[in-house]
A and B are shown apart, each in its own frame.
Chain A
Amino acid sequence: MKEKDLLVNCPEHQLILYAEKNDGTYGPVQTGAYTAGNHISEHYKIVGNLNKSLIERLQNGEISPIYYYMMIEDLSVSELAGRTRISKICVKKHITPEGFKKVSISKLKRYADVLNIPLANMFQIIHTIEDRNWDIGYQEDIGSSKSSSISQVNTKNQFLVETKVIQKLK
């Protein structure tokens, strides 16, 4: 492959490919990644669709939060079992809504650590919005002058609430 034929414009994801230089020698070329440069929107679409369908199933109590995060992090049951050091048989149970009811807090903490979330997120879905007048977790003292507040509402899933930003009417 000639150097010029490999070049992709993608500053966010640079990599090294080997190609034929102008003088006929082969060597490294720094360029953008082909997939990220050409198909990143497809990736976002796939991840977005997966997230949407999983959230819906989670709200309806059809899947367990452990299953949700396992899928989002693209882990298999075997991989999750290996990482949490919880047996595969137990993981298979815990990813069902019925099995989730029986997970001990200490095991749930192990799942949360491996899935890189706070334990509390096993029991809530957080919806965020982009709002310049409101900063999550910051400047609490000026919160009253802002246009939004946080609300937690129950879902059909008895173990789960939705945490979301409510925009006040002006």
Chain B
Amino acid sequence: MTQIPFRHIMAAHCESGTVTALLNHHGLNITEPMVFGIASGIFFAYFKTPMMDFPMFAVRSMPGQVRIKFAKRTGVKFKTKKYRNPAKAEKELNDLLDHNQPVAVQVDFFYMNYFPPWFRIHVNVHFITIIGREGNKYYVSDSYHPQIAEIDREALTKSRFAGGSMAPKGFMFYPVHIPDKIDLGKAIKDGLKGTIYNMLKIPLPFVGVKGIRRFADKIVDWPGYARDEDMLADRIFKITVFLEDQGTGGGGFRFLYASFLQEASKVLNNPRLNDMSREMMGIGDSWREISLAAARIAKQRDFSRERLMEIGNMLYGRADMEERFFTNLKKELINHI
């Protein structure tokens, strides 16, 4: 067989992009920001556990949650499956493709050899859609790639069965039921409520707005975790990469969330949400300032406490902005939505 006719579009983020493309393929007209917003994809967390050599932060919800929450809030049903046996996983994938069913799979990004080598890192939570096969190769719709790509069978299998943290275990999914009528208004409200909870209410000191403040507190400690100046420069550059270039839509997902709020204001006929989308766009701009400052510090290799505190102080500012924003969003949700 060859390719299933599939409209390939690039997306900001791999999971929301994959879910959106699959739903579009099955006839549901929905955008990536709407999928992301309904699923409460925006988030913040700062981690440093004894298992980790270096601290890390996240600007989105746990991998898999976009699909799970979107399904729960809209009534869409996905068939999901994990495997122990790679041969069985491959056979079932092939069967589905042979029946013209595009299938999303979870992979280790490192093996996506259609990207340049410097871009490929080991991360087990990348999502792609397989849209066909021919001989020893598979056709891939990857949200981060401008065109339909090809991957050989061996690389695909290796990527689906890489071990380590959040191992994919051959995980795959595809939609099996889309309701005739989705109550988009209710789904949006649930999405807003979930986001407000994630950013303001989770009683853990390293998530949401509290997580941003923890990051601000701890960034001055980063030199202590680095084995040398090169490593520290690399990790500080990664602040920029994580906020801008690694599938966030820019400004650490804040631009994508602003787009969601703009769309939501139309669906709910609430102009105040449109104003709030502008405010979120501004918050995204201020996260981008952090990205640029981090890149500058990494390039200049000035890792003094004062320079790192510059980023820390900017982070405190973003924490205050987001605390105000989500508190106001909560009031808006209670009073007018």
Contact = CB atoms under 8 A, between A and B. Distances in A.
Contacts of B11: 16, 28
Interface residues of B, number: 49
Interface string A1-45: 100001000001111111110000111101001111011101110
Interface stretch (B69-77, B90-98, B253-261, B302-310): B253-261
Contacts of A149: none
A40 B10 CA distance: 23
Interface stretch (A80-88, A139-147, A160-168): A80-88
Contacts of B162: 83, 114
Given A18-B249, A18-B250, A79-B165, A27 B118 contact: no
Given A18-B33, A79-B122, A46 B12 contact: no
Interface in B44-59: 51-53
Contact of B163 (A17, A28, A38, A83): A83
Interface of B is mostly: helix
A44 B233 CA distance: 12
Contacts of B244: 17, 33-35
B240 A15 contact: no
B249 A74 contact: no
Interface residues of A, number: 43
A74 B120 CA distance: 11
B258 A18 contact: yes
A27 B119 contact: no
A49 interface: yes
A166 to B, nearest CB: 27
Given A15-B10, A15-B247, A16-B249, A74 B146 contact: no
A150 interface: no
Contact of B237 (A42, A44, A77): A42
A50 interface: yes
B213 interface: no
Contacts of A73: 110, 122
Interface stretch (B133-141, B173-181, B193-201, B277-285): B277-285
B156 interface: no
B146 A14 contact: yes
B12 A17 contact: yes
A43 B247 CA distance: 19
Nearest to A11: B146
Interface in A81-111: 82-85
Interface in B235-252: 237, 240-241, 244-245, 247, 249-251
A83 B164 CA distance: 4
Interface in A128-146: none
Contact of A35 (B163, B240, B262, B284): B240
A34 B252 CA distance: 13
A75 interface: yes
A114 B288 CA distance: 36
Contact of A13 (B143, B163, B245): B245
Interface of A: 1, 6, 12-20, 25-28, 30, 33-36, 38-40, 42-44, 46-47, 49-50, 73-80, 82-85, 114
Given A1-B255, A73-B122, A75-B122, 7 more contacts: A1-B288, A16-B10, A38-B295, A39-B240, A42-B237, A47-B118, A114-B162
Interface of B: 10-12, 32-33, 51-53, 110, 116, 118-119, 121-122, 143-144, 146, 162-165, 167, 230-231, 233-234, 237, 240-241, 244-245, 247, 249-251, 255-256, 258-259, 262, 277, 281, 284-285, 288, 291, 295, 298-299
20 contacts: A1-B250, A1-B251, A1-B288, A13-B116, A13-B119, A14-B146, A16-B249, A18-B12, A18-B249, A18-B255, A18-B258, A26-B258, A34-B240, A34-B291, A38-B295, A39-B298, A47-B118, A50-B231, A80-B164, A114-B163
